[in-house]
Structure 1
Amino acid sequence: MAYKLYLDGVLFPVAPSKVTVKINNQNETVTLINEGEANILKAAGLSDVEFDLLLPNTEYPFALYPETFRNARFYLDKLEELKLQKKSFQYIMTRAFPNDKKLFHTNMTVSLEDYSIVDDAGEGFDTTVKIKLKQYREFITKTCTVDISLPKPQAAMQQTRAAGNAPTGGSYTVVSGDCLWKIAKQFYGDGGKWSVIYNANQSVIGGNPNLIYPGQVLTIPSA
């Protein structure tokens, strides 16, 4: 069976003899009140891809070069470029029968996590590189600017509000375009009370009150 390995569009001369793809788990096990356990199923985490590469410094008949022979330095420079650019790229592994009939291929967007360059006397003049890639997924963040400036004190008479008119607590599901200021304005009539909602939902929102996402369920405390 013939294999071809491409990293960021560059064909490497010798495909790895073995590739390990680890599908990472994100399921969560919780302990119930009755001391039993339950498993909360979640989507799989980002996959890890690991393999060893042989980079020849001698032109072998089994090595593949699209145009002309390239020594190990050319491919080491490419790996260094992928690391320094801090960008994702395509990992492609094609598989075919000896008669060149296509079997199947892997095409995954990845980042270069770690790589180790090994000089081994057993490999003669050639260089071996141990490579670890991680699956990359695009994500989009939405920024919502919250005005936390304090209003100037004003002397004013406040009317007593009947208890029945006070906003009541409950929950709210975030939709596209929401931010904490907007939600506080909706429930309390005052966007400046966004911190009341944030303090009650830090475990859901995280450390940045400006980042909330559609589908999150927020607890709305009573005013």
Structure 2
Amino acid sequence: MNLMHTEQNPTKYRMYLNYDNDRKVYVFPRLPDKIKVTSKGKTASVDIDRFGEVLHKGKRDAITISFSSFFPAQYGQSYCACMEKEFKSPKKWNAWILKMQAANKPCHFVLAGSPLSLNMYADIISYSATEEGGDVGTISYTLELKEHRKPTVSTHGKKGKGKKARKTTTGKRASNESKKKAYTIKKGDCLWNIAKKYYGKGIQYTKILNANRATLDKAAKRYGYSGCRDGNLIFPGTKITIP
């Protein structure tokens, strides 16, 4: 049994807005009270502490996510959802979101630590920020993102003898992930160290967790646990994929 090194994290929930294949990592300092997830024209508003609703699988419209929160002027472990070394000032956050909004490629939005894991490439649809006089330095904001899907279209060939028209497909999810690799968990491993080995940054363990959650839960149940506890419980011999 291995424990992931998360004892310094103020909360089990973590939210990211990354870019450049996760080489540039931004951890939201404050979690919103609620996140609104819209899919297929149906809207669900769920409390951050009671995530449990699973999105409908299969064909659907692009997901839209919207939420409001604030970027605190100073770090505080009692109210921040990131570690102190990950904390960035409201000024940097404001500049980062504006940069992502103007970028040619989608950003990578991740909500980790919840049964309703959100992990998708997205475009920033709208962003508004305000600074109130009574709380100098703190920026309140509202952010809306829409799932980025890369459409692929193939032309139909002319019908003739021995020829068939090719199918046209659209709406594939955008991805900048490399080919997956196989890995067998060894004694002394933790997802943080595995992520550091393959990606150069342990903070990217969520990519491995989200890709292997079912496998890790199944392995934990063989040892009498209800699940992998968001990757905190992993066992030697478990075969996983590195996305």
Match of 1:84 in 2: 102
Q: Does 1:93 align with 2:111?
A: yes
Unaligned runs of 5+ in 1: 27-41, 97-102, 145-177, 188-211, 217-223
Match of 1:59 in 2: 75
Name the SS of the counterpart of 1:10 in structure 2: coil
Match of 2:129 in 1: 117
Closer, same or farther: CA 137–215 of 1 in aligned 2, 3 Å: closer
Q: Which of 88, 93, 96 is the equivalent residue of 1:75?
A: 93
Name the SS of the counterpart of 2:149 in structure 1: coil
Alpha-carbon distance in 2 for matches of 1:58, 1:141: 48
Unaligned runs of 5+ in 2: 1-10, 19-24, 43-57, 170-243
Amino acid at match of 1:112: I
Amino acid at match of 1:116: S
Closer, same or farther: CA 127–95 of 1 in aligned 2, 3 Å: same
Alpha-carbon distance in 1 for matches of 2:91, 2:151: 34
Q: How is 1:119-138 mapped onto 2 (pairs within 5 angstroms)?
A: 119-121=131-133, 123-138=135-150
Larger Rg: 1
Structure showing greater relative contact order (alpha-carbon pairs closer than 8 Å, 6 or more residues apart): 2
Contact residue 19 and residue 51 of structure 1 kept, 8 A: yes
Which is strand-richer, 1 or 2? 1
| CA-CA distance at 1:59 after TM superposition | 2.3
| CA-CA distance at 1:25 after TM superposition | 3.7
Closer, same or farther: CA 91–85 of 1 in aligned 2, 3 Å: same
Deviations 1:37-60 (A, max 9, x none): xxxxx9321111000131111222
Deviations 1:119-174 (A, max 9, x none): 234555310110001112222233x6xxxxxxxxxxxxxxxxxxxxxxxxxxxxxx
Q: Does 1:140 align with 2:152?
A: yes
Q: Does 1:24 align with 2:36?
A: no
Match of 2:214 in 1: none
Q: How is 1:132-171 mapped onto 2 (pairs within 5 angstroms)?
A: 132-142=144-154
Q: TM-score, normalised by structure 2?
A: 0.47
Alpha-carbon distance in 1 for matches of 2:38, 2:146: 10
- Among all aligned residue pairs of Structure 1 and Structure 2, give the percentage whose two residues are the same amino acid: 16
Match of 2:16 in 1: 6
Name the SS of the counterpart of 1:91 in structure 2: strand
Amino acid at match of 2:64: D
Alpha-carbon distance in 2 for matches of 1:72, 1:17: 19
* CA RMSD, 1 decimal: 3.0
- Paired residues, what number? 133
| CA-CA distance at 1:69 after TM superposition | 4.3
